[in-house]
């Protein structure tokens, strides 16, 4: 009985082991089948496409030709060469005002009048005294020639005559002072008197300025003034008039150096004036020291500065090429290229900030 039981257990173990072998074999066979299917029936994975270079959009333009100049720059205010206060020379009541601020006047033109009745009376009295003295003097001359009066009496009457004539001149001059006249041609820039006011000698009535020419006085370092000459071209730019420009010239160069600042005073005259040019206007003065004609010009924005070297980019077909350039004088948003360009290139003026030498570009003309 025990032997039968043992026999049955052995049979189960053998059958179980055989089953395990079949299962393991099936699994391995499945893996092999799957592997064969993968190697024979499945399509290969697609290859990764090559990355395409992106073209940088840029704007280009050809360099232009023009005239550029080097200049010394300084700021100053416009001033008149001739300006004066018109003062009262006698006392009196202002009866008429004939001009106002802004009026243009000629030399000798009457600006105001004072009450003159008392001055006229004084002149008439002086003339009457002079007439009487003249008659006495004429009689004295005849008597003196006939030796009827002494030399002392003749001298006394002669002096009385001369004093009477001087009194007439003084009274006439005092009367003329009741008419306030312009000492030179110009424009009234200030009126300090009103009609009906009693004024005194020495009182300011008007300020008169000759507005032609207007000048600007600038102070430049001594080393910069060395090459300047009288008559040298200059330009005045009016800040308050949107940078309106006036031609000018150097009219005076001080012979001395300011020991406190090390500068020399240079006077620049505005040759042609506009209504915007007024005494006191703030201006930027440029004195031209050198001029290059037919210079090659590009926009200042086209220049790239790197490691103290100036570059720009030109478009050669669809490729950007970096050019090292030598710069010259600036002029109105452009700058001279003294070396590095022939003038036939298409210079990149926009978009160059992200360019490298050899980069692909999408070229567009300026303004497109």
**What CATH number is given to the structural domain containing 338?**
2.40.420.20
- On whether residue 206 sits in a domain, the answer given is no
Give the residue among 200, 206, 204 at the shortest CA–CA distance from 92: 200
pLDDT value for 227: 83
* 164: CATH: 1.10.287.470
Give a yes or no: residue 161 inside a domain. Answer: yes
Which structure tokens are listed for 354?
Answer: 């992200």
Greatest distance between any 2 Cα atoms in the chain: 211
The pLDDT score that the predictor gives to residue 58 is 86
Indicate whether 273 pLDDT > 90.
Answer: no
> Which of 292, 314, 330 finishes a domain?
292
- What are 59's two structure tokens? 């704007």
In a domain, 85, yes or no: no
Look at residue 220 and tell me if it is in a domain. yes
Mean pLDDT of 318-327: 91
Instruction: Check: CB of residue 294 under 8 Å from CB of residue 67.
Output: yes
* Per-residue pLDDT band at 44 (split at 50, 70, 90): low
Q: Does the pLDDT of residue 27 top 90, yes or no?
A: no
Confidence band, pLDDT 50/70/90 cuts, at residue 105: very high
Domain contains 134 = yes
Residue 42 lies in a domain: no
Q: Is 348 among the domain residues? A: yes
Q: Who has greater pLDDT, 353 or 175? A: 175
Nearest to 99 by CA among 175, 198, 174, 189: 189
Neighbours of 260 (CB within 10 A): 6
Give the CATH number for residue 232. Answer: 2.40.30.170
Q: Same structural domain for residues 222 and 267?
A: yes
pLDDT at 45: 52
Q: Rounded to whole angstroms, what are the CA distances from 247 to 102, 239, 251?
A: 24, 15, 13
Q: Is residue 185 part of a domain?
A: no
Single pTM value for the model: 0.57
Q: What is the pLDDT at residue 356?
A: 86
Provide the pLDDT for residue 24. 35
367 compared with 36, residue with greater pLDDT: 367
* 219 pLDDT tier (thresholds 50, 70, 90): very high
For residue 70, pLDDT beyond 50 = yes
CA distances from 142 to 130, 132, 148, 156, 207 (A): 19, 16, 9, 15, 54
Number of domains in the chain: 3
Residue 5 has pLDDT above 50, yes or no: no
Residues 248 and 221 in one domain: yes
325-352 pLDDT tens trace: 999 998 888 999 999 898 898 899 888 8
- pLDDT, residue 48, reads 53
Shared domain check, 283 and 254:
yes
- Residue 28 pLDDT: 35
What string of DSSP letters covers 14-79? Answer: HHHHHHHHHHHHHHHHHHHHHHHHHHHTSPPPPPPPPPPPPPEEEEEE--EEEEEEEEEEEEEEEE
CA distance readout (Å), 345 to 63, 133, 300, 336, 366? 7, 98, 16, 15, 14
Contact at 8 Å (CB) between 322 and 354?
no
pLDDT average, residue stretch 240-247: 88
Domain boundary (292, 310, 338) is at 292
Residues 265 and 298 in one domain: no
Q: Is the pLDDT of residue 41 over 80?
A: no
pLDDT value, residue 2? 41
pLDDT of amino acid 33: 36
Q: Residue 236's domain spans which residues? A: 71-79+211-292
Going by pLDDT thresholds of 50, 70 and 90, the confidence category of residue 13 is very low
Query: pLDDT at residue 224 above 50?
Result: yes
Q: How far is the first Cα of the chain from the last one, in angstroms, to the nearest whole number?
A: 109
Q: Has residue 148 got a pLDDT over 90?
A: no
Q: What is the mean pLDDT of the chain?
A: 84
The region that residue 343 occupies, defined by phi over 0 for left and psi between -120 and 50 for alpha, beta otherwise, is: left
> Do 306 and 278 lie in a common domain?
no
The confidence band for 18, taking pLDDT boundaries of 50, 70 and 90, is: very low
Among the three residues 267, 292, 317, which one is the final residue of a domain in this structure? 292
229-233, 259-263, 292-296, 355-359 — which is least confidently predicted?
A: 355-359
- pLDDT given for residue 23 in this prediction: 34
| The pLDDT of residue 365 | 67
How far is Cα 311 from Cα 303, in angstroms, rounded to an integer? 6
Are 229 and 286 contained in the same domain? Answer: yes
Residue 239's pLDDT is 85
Least confident of 31-35, 148-152, 326-330: 31-35
Same domain, 287 and 216: yes
Give 84-94 pLDDT, tens digit per residue: 999 999 999 99
Quick one: what percent of the chain has pLDDT higher than 70? 85
Report the distance separating Cα 210 and Cα 213, nearest Å.
7
For residue 20, pLDDT over 50 is answered with: no
């Amino acid at each position: 009985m025990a032997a039968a039981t043992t026999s049955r257990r052995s049979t189960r173990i053998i059958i179980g082991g055989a089953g395990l072998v079949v299962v393991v074999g099936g699994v391995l066979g499945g893996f092999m089948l799957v592997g064969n299917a993968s190697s024979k029936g499945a399509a290969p994975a697609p290859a990764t496409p090559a990355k395409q270079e992106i073209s940088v959009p840029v704007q280009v333009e050809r360099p232009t030709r023009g005239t550029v100049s080097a200049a010394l720059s300084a700021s100053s205010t416009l001033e008149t060469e001739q300006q004066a206060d018109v003062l009262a020379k006698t006392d009196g009541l202002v009866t008429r005002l004939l001009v106002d601020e802004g009026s243009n006047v000629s030399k000798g033109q009457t600006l105001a009048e004072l009450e003159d009745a008392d001055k006229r009376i004084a002149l008439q009295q002086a003339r009457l005294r002079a007439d009487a003295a003249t008659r006495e003097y004429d009689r004295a001359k005849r008597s003196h020639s006939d030796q009827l009066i002494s030399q002392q009496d003749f001298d006394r009457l002669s002096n009385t005559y001369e004093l009477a004539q001087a009194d007439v001149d003084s009274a006439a001059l005092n009367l003329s002072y009741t008419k306030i006249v312009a000492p030179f041609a110009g424009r009234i820039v200030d009126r300090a008197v009103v009609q009906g006011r009693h004024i005194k000698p020495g009182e300011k009535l008007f300020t008169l300025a000759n507005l032609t020419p207007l000048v600007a006085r600038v102070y430049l370092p001594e080393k910069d003034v060395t090459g300047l000459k009288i008559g040298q071209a200059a330009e005045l730019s009016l800040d308050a008039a949107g940078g309106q420009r006036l031609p000018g010239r150097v009219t005076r160069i001080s012979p001395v150096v300011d020991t406190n600042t090390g500068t020399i005073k240079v006077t620049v005259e505005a040759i042609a004036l506009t209504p915007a040019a007024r005494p006191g206007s703030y201006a930027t003065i440029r004195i031209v020291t050198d001029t290059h004609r037919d210079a090659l010009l590009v926009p200042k924005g086209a220049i790239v500065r790197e490691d103290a070297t100036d570059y720009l980019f030109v478009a050669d077909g669809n490729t950007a090429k970096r050019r090292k350039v030598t710069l010259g004088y600036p002029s109105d948003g452009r700058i001279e290229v003294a070396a590095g360009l022939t003038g036939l290139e298409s210079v990149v003026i926009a978009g160059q900030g992200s360019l490298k030498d050899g980069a692909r570009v999408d070229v567009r003309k300026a303004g497109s």
